[in-house]
Amino acid sequence: MVDVIPAPVSVVGNSSGLTRLDGNTALQALPGTEGTARWLRATVGAATGLPFPDGPDRPHRIVLGIDPGLPPEGYRLVSDAWPIRIEGGSPAGVFWGAQTFRQLLGADAFRRAPLRPERAWEVPAVAVEDGPRFRWRGLLLDVARHFMPKEGVLRYLDLMAAHKLNVFHFHLTDDQGWRIEIKRYPELTGTASWRARSKFGHRASPLWEEKPHGGYYTQDDIREIVAYAAERHIAVVPEIDVPGHSQAAIAAYPELGNTDVIDTTALRVWDNWGISSSVLAPTDTTLRFYEGVFEEVLELFPADAAEFSTFVHVGGDECRKEQWTESVTAKTRIADLGLTDEDALQSWFIGHFDAWLAARGRRLIGWDEILEGGLAEGAAVSSWRGYGGGIAAARAGHDVVMCPEQYVYLDHRQAPGEDEPVPIGFVRTLEDVYRFEPVPDGLTEAEARHVLGTQANVWTEVLEDAARVDYQTFPRLAAFAEVAWSRLPAPAERDFAGFERRMAAHYARLDALGVAYRPPAGPRPWQKRPGVPGRPIEGAPPNK
């Protein structure tokens, strides 16, 4: 077995046999594969120093092609004879085959320049047949709590591609910051993108970082990110939170808040973690404002050939309703609409944008709280509070992405003990993530088909910089990628020891990419955060 992650469906051949590449090895890109050819020359070419010239007639060449007989994202890689062939059922499949080819070349193929120009490059002589289990293989990156500059986002898209992940959930707004330029509402970046200070550690921590924090992506930054992702066959799903998690927006535009309950002009971008009680007012003013936001969002995140590029995430989670309970405006809206309570008002709010997006050829997706008060018609659900929301949505005929907090929230700590930096939540080891099963028990075959796939979420309240994001994300994202891509047996039957053996090679690839992952033996001294309080939860997570 070759040391490929995620594990392929089938590998045939003698992996000790080698096919040698050199400066005369050509690259032939058949129609539909030109993007992968550019990627190979830019990455593998840079790492190896091989020019990969065009050469349809050269005997020693790599041929990229489309085979409609393969699954859409499936691929076939044959390297036991010339020409080497990488064929996919679609351009995406060819690209995933190229990712495997890069892994077969060894860890130094993940560097940006050749270490030794005279080095011989060899690939195992094998035939690989492969394709994904799930269509949605996602990663959420929260840039609202701690901003990640554009270059860091582009780097994470490369890391996703290296692990055959294909959906980037871009969490752009929250109580603690607004990260996307909306030209018609300039205060969303002028005011809402900066907070005066940040809590250091969990919200119960007495520690503060007493300096402003913030940043945002210009519209051209967003276009660049989306285009960069598309070249890597990754769909970008933006999240604009409504009606909760909105204090930053209300701080910039006080008329969006419940002005008959609190003095919204006194609100500032929140400097603490947790759930703010400031929610959007259920008024026509608020609806029109966010329609304006979404009009620009749709232009920046166009629906294209990628399967999930039509999705827009609207949050909908953790919507505290105390202000609505006290608000005459909210009570009047409930009465005028003939609704039963504030839960139904939230459902109406989400339903409005579900219909608005659907009329423009888009699909709404939200956290499983959008089930409260009635599921918005046509909406899909990100099931984060365990499996329950996903099961309910699938049984109601709605599509689901499984991302239960207890299993694939990568901000949760990776080991017990005091060495883990700012320990949050349940212990979720590399093995725990490897044994995660996205399709819950109890669904019929028809209901299970509504599980589009799965997603790992990286929330950044206590992840103050890129190195901390790396530490929490890796190596567990490699295990998650195998769960999302590979056709693994039942969790208890999975060969974790075999996965660990392959990870020995994969750590070298992560080293070459400069990923500050958690080592198997525990954090390095500079990865610890002694004295910074977290919120560890003891015991096993609930299985529900």
Which residues are part of the catalytic machinery? 174, 245, 318
Nearest Cα residue to 94 out of 78, 74, 110, 79: 74
CB 509 within 8 A of CB 481: no
Residue 94 CA to residue 525 CA, distance in Å, equals 41
- The number of helices, as runs of H, and strands, as runs of E, in the chain is 18, 22
Complete DSSP assignment for 325-369: HH-HHHHHHHHHHT--SHHHHHHHHHHHHHHHHHTTT-EEEEEGG
Instruction: Please list the residues that pair with 180 across neighbouring strands.
Output: 217
Residue 505: CB atoms within 10 A of its CB come to: 15
Instruction: Using DSSP bridges, classify how beta strands 136-142 and 451-458 pair: parallel, antiparallel or unpaired.
Output: parallel
State the Cα torsion 327-333-335-337 to the nearest 10°: -160
How far, rounded to the nearest angstrom, does the alpha carbon of residue 514 sit from its chain's CA centroid?
Answer: 19
What are φ and ψ of residue 343, in 5° steps?
-60, -40
Annotate 44-82 with b (16+ C-beta within 10 A) or e (fewer): bbebbebebeebeeeeebbbbbbeeebeebbbbbbbbee
HEC readout, 217-278: ECHHHHHHHHHHHHHCCCEEEEEEEECCCCHHHHHHCHHHCCCCCCCHHHCCCCCCCCCCCC
Residue 346 CA to residue 324 CA, distance in Å, equals 10
Nearest Cα residue to 477 out of 251, 238, 172, 160: 160
Residue 21: CB atoms within 10 A of its CB come to: 20
CA atoms within 13 A on the CB side of 188: 25
Contacts of 70-73 with CB under 8 Å at 24 or more apart are: 70/131, 71/131, 73/131, 73/132, 73/135, 73/166
Tokens describing residue 476: 């567990």
Residue 213 CA to residue 215 CA, distance in Å, equals 7
Residue 280 CA to residue 499 CA, distance in Å, equals 46
| Site of tokens 């285009």 | 227
CB 134 within 8 A of CB 78: no
Distances (CA, A) of 289 to 261, 280, 283, 429: 20, 11, 10, 43
Residue 319 CA to residue 243 CA, distance in Å, equals 7
